[in-house]
Amino acid sequence: MKDYKILIEGDSSVLIVFGDTISPEINRRVTAAVQLIKEQRIEGIVDMIPAFASLLINYNPMVISYDSIRRRLERILKMDVRGEEGRKRVFEIPVCYGGRFGPDLDNIAAHAGLTPEEVVDIHSSRDYLIYMLGFLPGFCYLGGLDERIHTPRLSSPRLRIPSGSVGIGGSQTGIYPMDSPGGWQLMGMTPVRTYDPNRAEPILVHAGEYIRFVRIGEEEFEDIRARVEAGTYQVTVREGEA
């Protein structure tokens, strides 16, 4: 059975859509498709952007036409592949919620019909799977946000969101790795840098790993920030079975 759609995105890209929900199963299908397509070495493919439930493929129309790449992809996607579950690595990310760090926390609470306190409890009480990186260097898309605190994006995005901001956009939550425009509702901020071009490994985490948000106060925020700047702060990582 065909469980995907190939959509056109302009004259140099196609979008393969595997589903319209965020689930670990569909995400593993995306990862597997990336692997398969890489193995096939299709000439003309320039780049791939795997996402929650889809895969965007950039190609050069001088090398391969839309009709040809579509045929090639359909042949490849007939093969059945599944990704495997590995060991679970959880990064504990400290977050100072509300106040000047989370201007939209009250919005989120009002939308959910909860107190800000309850929203924070819900947000910081589970491990989130990193489905993909995208949007900005090191920006993690996390799955598994509690339905009670789903909040629509702002109807018009902000022009500048400071780095380290933690927010909610629809059914997703995450951290802004650098200053950027964006449409998410902001609930707090982490002093940890998920992207640092001056670090040996500029990107802290990888797809398939987990993030746990840990509530901290303003004092602790400043303390950790100072240690991050001095290069002496180490993010706590828990390891265990998936």
Candidates 212, 214, 192, 213; CA nearest to 203 is 192
Q: How far is the CB of 131 from other proteins (least distance, A)?
A: 9
Residues in touch with other proteins (CB under 8 A): 7-13, 15, 17, 20-22, 34, 46-56, 58, 61-62, 65-67, 132-139, 141, 152-153, 155-157, 159, 169-170, 172, 177-178, 180-181, 183, 195, 197, 203
Helix ranges (DSSP H) in 54-130 = 66-77, 105-112, 116-123
Instruction: Tell me the β-bridge partners of 158.
Output: 182
Q: How far is the CB of 126 from other proteins (least distance, A)?
A: 20
Instruction: Tell me the β-bridge partners of 56.
Output: 15, 49
Q: How far is the CB of 12 from other proteins (least distance, A)?
A: 6
Parallel, antiparallel or unpaired: strands 54-59 and 180-182:
unpaired
| Token duo for residue 212 | 């746990």
Q: How far is the CB of 215 from other proteins (least distance, A)?
A: 26
Number of CB atoms found within 10 A of residue 168's CB: 26
Name the residue nearer to other proteins (CB basis): 98 or 143. 143
Name the residue nearer to other proteins (CB basis): 155 or 234. 155
Name the residue nearer to other proteins (CB basis): 62 or 230. 62
Name the residue nearer to other proteins (CB basis): 22 or 216. 22
First to last CA, the chain: 29
Name the residue nearer to other proteins (CB basis): 51 or 189. 51
Rounded to whole angstroms, the Cα distance separating 108 from 156 reads 16
Q: How far is the CB of 241 from other proteins (least distance, A)?
A: 27
